[in-house]
Copies of this chain bind each other. A is one copy, B any other.
Amino acid sequence: MDEPPCLGERELGAWRALLSTAATLNRLIEQRLKDDAGLSHSQYEVLVRLADAPGGELRMTELAGAATTSKSGLTYQVAQLEKAGLVRRRACPEDVRGIIASLTDEGWAKVRATEPGHAALVRDLFVDGLSRDDFTALAGGLEALRDLLHTRSGDQAS
């Protein structure tokens, strides 16, 4: 009944499954994206976040907060995207420190062109592998975990 000092079979298996699944999925997605659109996964994520935002623009901090990358990593990726002509950067009117990243026309076009193939692959690899019920359960668990971790991440302050 008492908690063992280390993880049991069950927990360890689930943990490894999470790591392994995420890694493999990431690798396959990355490859497809590279072949189809010449984008890395993180670059594509940035583009999609922008496309989802009103007006296709977002401040760097908001972008970094939602993303899977660090502040400095975001700076790098946005610079790459700007070099590629997919994103433009401009000053934020309300705060001189702020920088707003916004999609160019070319950026919009790239997102529209890339999204269907990407979505199809995600569906193929991730969604269609499980029964409807299993998928629902998985989705629920993941979202609960994400929310939990999100609150946990912001708790460093005294």
Interface, chain A (partner B; CB < 8 A): 3, 5-7, 10-11, 13-15, 17-26, 28, 45, 68, 115-116, 119, 122-123, 125-127, 129-130, 134-135, 137-146, 148-150, 152-153
Contacts and interface: CB of A to CB of B under 8 A. Distances in A.
Given A11-B123, A116-B6, A143 B17 contact: yes
B134 A140 contact: yes
Chain copies in the assembled complex = 2
B142 A14 contact: yes
User: Which of A11, A119, A141: most chain B Cβ within 10 A?
Assistant: A141
A141 B130 contact: yes
Nearest to A4: B119
Contacts of A28: 149, 153
Nearest to A139: B14
Nearest to A120: B5
A96 B12 CA distance: 34
A153 to B, nearest CB: 6
